Amino acid sequence: MTKRSRMMGAGLILLLLGLVLSACGAAPVAQNWPGLTVDGDTVYAITGAPQEVYILDAETGAVKGNFLPTGLGDSRSAVNYWSPVTVGGNLAFVGFFQDRSEANGLYAFDPETGQQQWRVAADGTGILSAPAYADGAVYFGTTGSKVYAVDVESNSVKPGWPFEAESAVWASPVVADGRAYVASMDHYLYCLDAETGEEIWKVELGGALAEQPLLVDGILYAGAFDGRVHAVKADSGELVEGFNFQAGNWIWSTPLMVDGQLFVTALDGSLYALDPGTGNVLAPYPYNSGEIGGGKDVINANPVQAGDNIVIATEKGYVIAVKDGQRGCSWPSGTPQSPIYTTPVVSGDKIYVIQMSGEVYTLDATALETGVCAANVLYSLPEGD
């Protein structure tokens, strides 16, 4: 075998290798969308590269502090998940997961400075959604199929907990009236005793439940991967008879009730307004976000209310104010720079938005009425991040 032919053979192999690596570059990227929480005059944004919790002044965007688990050192990898931050009982809570890390778990930190207070390791798996704080306890689900209730004062898992579902729990529990309602990827909606963790009832819905249900007037409205919104009686777990709604793709969001209309977003890019009793779509809805920029768009962020508008954020990166089924205004006016998967937060007269890239913007909620969707940068990633 000549040197030349060996070289050619090796070259061909390298070419194939390069092709495979470039074509298959869509190898799993372990990432969740960045969390965004506003509490009073403070914004908690999961941003940076690698990500950490940034504690920002809600007015100026000035960084007041950061939170990163202590002892993590340089052993940080890009493979990590953060849950959004929840504030309650003078503490802030966040879930952290890094592939094969000893630092995984739920953290409590000082909401002003970011100083770590304590950690509960839980089962060491991912915590994707915001922990729920209620009555001195913090509730959260894990990708390891467990649901925990941690007593904040003793920072220990409450007796009787964790509860074990049949599959991962991505959604935040809804805690009300001594019960915790937990939506799971195993298709079940569970009702648990918030004190003891005992199962009160469970109901199988048609698909995976990735987001928490909406609890209104004793009815739980849960969007599922079967493209339906399921209405379940909170006291018994029975399905509400006659309620029927089917979207054009999965539903990965929590519905919103405004003035007797149930608003729901779907991965088909539409915002629907439903009759909460029957699930019938109310005209002139649905509004399809794909009308901006052409083609189709995807919405997995929850709809939020800002005045008379329902605000939605899309995968293409648009923030759209919808009123009576029509687009009032949208931002940006040009081509968006990054997708938006995180639910916008309305606080005071501002709408806070975080892009997938980690940039945080504010929109003037009062200007929506005039048909203006202009945004200011609240926090921008430093150069090089």
Partner 1 sequence: MGSITDIWTVAILQPMLNALLWLYNTLGDQFWLAIIIFTVVIRGLMTPLMLPQQRSAKKMQELQPKLKELQKKYGKDRERMSQEQMKLYREAGVNPMGGCLPMLVQFPIWIGLYQSIIQALGYQPLQLLNLSQNIYPFMQSVWAAVPLNRFFLGMDLALTPQQLGGLTFALPVLVAFTSWLQTKMTTPAGGGDGQAAGMGQSMTLMMPLMFGFFSLNFSTGLSFYFIVSNIIGIVTQGFISGWEGLLFWKGFSLSNLLTPGSKAQPGSKGTTSQQTESTPSGSQKGSQSGKKKRKKRRRKR
User: Under the rule (CB under 8 A), what is the footprint of partner 1?
Assistant: 1-2, 4-6, 8-10, 12-13, 16-17, 19-20, 23-24, 26-33, 99-100, 128, 167-168, 170, 185, 187, 206-208, 210, 225-227, 248-250, 252, 267, 298, 300, 315, 341
| Least Cβ distance, residue 129 to partner 1 (angstroms) | 10
Nearer to partner 1 (CB atom), residue 26 or residue 283: 26
| Least Cβ distance, residue 341 to partner 1 (angstroms) | 7
| Least Cβ distance, residue 110 to partner 1 (angstroms) | 28
Residues with Cβ within 8 Å of residue 268, at least 6 apart in sequence:
247, 248, 249, 288, 296, 298
- The DSSP code for 228 is B
| Least Cβ distance, residue 296 to partner 1 (angstroms) | 8
| Least Cβ distance, residue 294 to partner 1 (angstroms) | 12
Nearer to partner 1 (CB atom), residue 109 or residue 245: 245
The 63-67 sheet, strands edge to edge: 36-39, 42-47, 52-57, 63-67
| Least Cβ distance, residue 154 to partner 1 (angstroms) | 32
| Least Cβ distance, residue 226 to partner 1 (angstroms) | 5
Nearer to partner 1 (CB atom), residue 53 or residue 128: 128
| Least Cβ distance, residue 15 to partner 1 (angstroms) | 11
Residues with Cβ within 8 Å of residue 95, at least 6 apart in sequence:
81, 82, 83, 105, 106, 107, 126, 127, 128, 131, 140
Nearer to partner 1 (CB atom), residue 100 or residue 383: 100
Nearer to partner 1 (CB atom), residue 53 or residue 168: 168
In DSSP notation, 180-211 reads EEEE-TTSEEEEEETTT--EEEEEE-SS---S
| Least Cβ distance, residue 67 to partner 1 (angstroms) | 22
Q: How far is CA 295 from CA 251, 290, 310, 319, in A?
A: 19, 6, 22, 16
Q: How far is CA 188 from CA 126, 169, 180, 184, in A?
A: 19, 10, 14, 6
Nearer to partner 1 (CB atom), residue 16 or residue 62: 16
Nearer to partner 1 (CB atom), residue 35 or residue 69: 35
Nearer to partner 1 (CB atom), residue 15 or residue 377: 15
In DSSP notation, 296-321 reads -----SPPEEETTEEEEE-TTS-EEE
Nearer to partner 1 (CB atom), residue 47 or residue 300: 300
Torsion-angle region of 259 (φ positive above 0: left; ψ -120 to 50: alpha; else: beta): left
SS3 65: strand
Write b or e for each residue in 182-218: b if 16 or more Cβ atoms lie within 10 A of its Cβ, otherwise e. bbbbbbbbbbbbbbebeebbbbebebbbbbbbbbeee
CA-CA distance, 61 to 58, in Å (whole number)?
A: 6
**In terms of residues, how long is the chain?**
385
CB 298 within 8 A of CB 269: yes
SS3 letters across 67-122: ECCCCCCCCCCCCEEECCCEEECCEEEEEEEECCCCCCEEEEECCCCCCEEEEECC
Nearer to partner 1 (CB atom), residue 9 or residue 136: 9
| Least Cβ distance, residue 127 to partner 1 (angstroms) | 13
